[in-house]
Amino acid sequence: MQRLLRLGTATTVGMYLLLLTGSLVTNTGSADGCGQSWPFCDGDWSSVATFIEVNHRLVTGVLGIMILALSVGAWRAFGRHREVRLLVIASLFLLVLQSFLGAAAVMWGSPPAVMATHFGVSLASFGTVFLLTIRIKALATGSEEASPSRGGSARNGLGRFRTLVNVALVMTLLVVYGGALVRHTSSGLACLDWPLCNGQVFPGFTGAVGLVFIHRLSVVVLTVFVAYMGHQTRPFRRERPDLYNGSIIALLLLVAQSLTGWLIVSTRAAVAANMLHAAVLILYAAALLYLAIQATPYGIKYPGRPLRAVVE
């Protein structure tokens, strides 16, 4: 089981690196490094763009094999658990969909809608592998602890928190898609200052400026919501420090991710700033996914007192 857990950890880290290499492809304009050929490459092998694109495809192929191996191992070891089966199916489906969208982006000339969807699906693929690894750890170590769902104010608070996390995940997906559209439509510098937009508090909702403004506004709404979500863990922070501390980390990462947005504007969309923006976003998504599974009976046992001891 430890071998399977190590494979899950390596695959999760690999998916994180895959998302970063995908961001590098986008931010260096290397998406056309292989022309419109897929899965083979019809590019200039002496160019940097071709080198970046080819390496991204190689990493994708290796990760595909690792996800397949992880899925087979998880199904064989813990296939009797319904949630494991669902995560395995989701991981394989998203892997295929991610590959299809990558191929479509190459052969169709990288349309913004396809590229934005490709990033969102890739992030979801990372999420399913991450959740599957957490579930494998809980089952392999026997450390899972069922979270009560009925009775007592603490239990009701945990149920509300679970709902808030799910809403935050949906909101995050919409914000991510909006940000990907901003990037893939080359609208990132439509607003040349931050947090204002060209010196205006309200620049309107039309054109490239409107797209950037909507994205910024949605990030503000999401940040307030995540702060409120974390506040709901205060009544049971002693019993569930994993949720309390995890909420703080998620909020800090979201704020940091917003600040990297300022860095993109101030550096006029430098590649390093865009890469940092993506790197922090993925970590924030991982923190939110961790909270999502820990708020269910399927997470890793938390270090605090069992919640039922408080209720009883």
Measured torsion, CA atoms of residues 66, 71, 73, 76, in degrees rounded to the nearest 10: -160
Q: Which of 59, 35, 63 is nearest to 49 (CA)?
A: 35
177 close to 285: Cβ distance less than 8 angstroms: no
Among this protein's residues, is 53 annotated catalytic?
yes
Please report the beta strands in the chain, taking only residues with DSSP state E, as ranges in sequence order: none
How many CB atoms within 10 Å of residue 170? 9
Which H or E element spans position 82? helix 82-107
SS3 of residue 237 by DSSP: coil
Q: Cα–Cα distance between 44 and 238 in angstroms, integer? A: 59
Q: Spell out the residues 6+ positions from residue 250 whose beta carbon is closer than 8 angstroms to its own.
A: 226, 230, 284, 287, 288, 291
Q: Which of 53, 83, 144, 145 is catalytic?
A: 53
Q: In this structure, are residues 250 and 233 in contact, taking their beta carbons and an 8 Å threshold?
A: no
Cα 33 from Cα 157, distance rounded (Å): 51
Alpha-carbon distance of 186 to 197, in angstroms, equals 16
Q: Which residues are catalytic?
A: 53
